[in-house]
Amino acid sequence: MPKAQETVLEIDLNALKHNFEHLKSRLHNDTMFMAVVKAFAYGSDACTIANYLQNLQADYFAVAFVHEGVQLRKAGITTPILVLHPQSANFNALIQNCLEPNLYNIKILNEFIAIASAEKLSEYPIHVKFNTGLNRLGFAENDVDAIVSKVKGTSAVKIKSVFSHLAASEDLNEKTFTLNQIEKFKAIAKNITQQIGYKPLLHLCNTSGILNYPEAHFDMVRSGIGLYGFGIPIAIGTEKDNKNLKPIGTLKTIISQIHSIEKGESIGYNRAFTADAFLRSATLPIGHADGIGRQYGKGKGYVIINNQRAYILGNVCMDMIMVDVTNIDCKEGDEVIVFGPSNTAENLSETASTISYELITAISQRVKRIFVEG
């Protein structure tokens, strides 16, 4: 990899391919794979990632909102795209771009059927989500009769899939809860399938579900965080599975300036750090506007300079952080690793009591993305 000369996020497409193929290897040959590329593909680059995965023959993509799906279509994605949280204000754009909505309550089901009927659509694919315990989005189990009545009463839509979302598939202590979710979903799926007279696709598993509950893979699985190289720290068997996943992103920056700080001098805004002895600080061109939040400041977070940890001094600034390089042999212009395969986003996020998802999705789009392969 070339040494950084500015703040960049390097995306390793070989690692992405490895993760995709590893997760696919856990499935039966006829189980479909939905790649979740919402939130700018978890902070990487949705269009580039989706195009790469499309070439690897991912069966479906999932995004959170309609505008994310529109961007993928403009970038040449022809694979089916499920919009996980559509709003009725965007239904026309959804239809114009051949996106497929998740419909999760009677209100939004009625609104989509009304627009689909007005557009004289025929059997437009919809996905019906049920709440089996996450209590976020989804129909209740006793809504099946009403859903079937609505769908049978129109030719404008057809149920493409029925799905739900596991709440704690990564947590061994919640195995009983997860198994109950699986059984509840199976009962719902059986009921709605019998009533509509055909079998829609069934999907339930997220990344940790793929790894821990093979009996619940059904017709399709959904993976987001696993594609980007992370499992779940407390997942059943995760130690082995985490070793089989490769983080695809390396966030790099450089040393802009080195200061000699005397005892009693302070560093940064609000004088949040005061030296109790002589030290050397390095200023880096990356800050909370780039995704390194203030929670990483005051000695919690660290970066890697010449294979050594350099802890953040004082408050994180909007565009800069200062780190302690007193005992590190370094100079201005040297490369700095914020996170990467050897010092992962998971490791850094733990210093601020958060998770890799939050850190990687926060990386600002002003940070240049560089894609490497091989």
Known catalytic residues are 38, 269
**39/67 Cα distance (integer angstroms):** 11
Q: What is the Cα–Cα distance from 324 to 276, expressed in whole angstroms?
A: 13
Q: From CA 324, how far away is CA 336, in angstroms rounded?
A: 12
Q: Would you say 164 and 129 are in contact if contact means Cβ atoms under 8 Å apart?
A: yes
Q: How far is CA 331 from CA 233, 263, 284, 328, in A?
A: 36, 22, 12, 9
Separation of alpha carbons 115 and 123, rounded Å: 13
On whether the CB atoms of residues 64 and 83 are closer than 8 A, the answer is yes
Tokens at 62, concatenated = 């999932």
As a whole number of angstroms, the longest Cα–Cα distance in the chain is 78
Distance (Å, rounded) from C-alpha 244 to C-alpha 4? Answer: 27
Residue 39, Ramachandran bin (φ over 0: left; ψ between -120 and 50: alpha; else beta): left
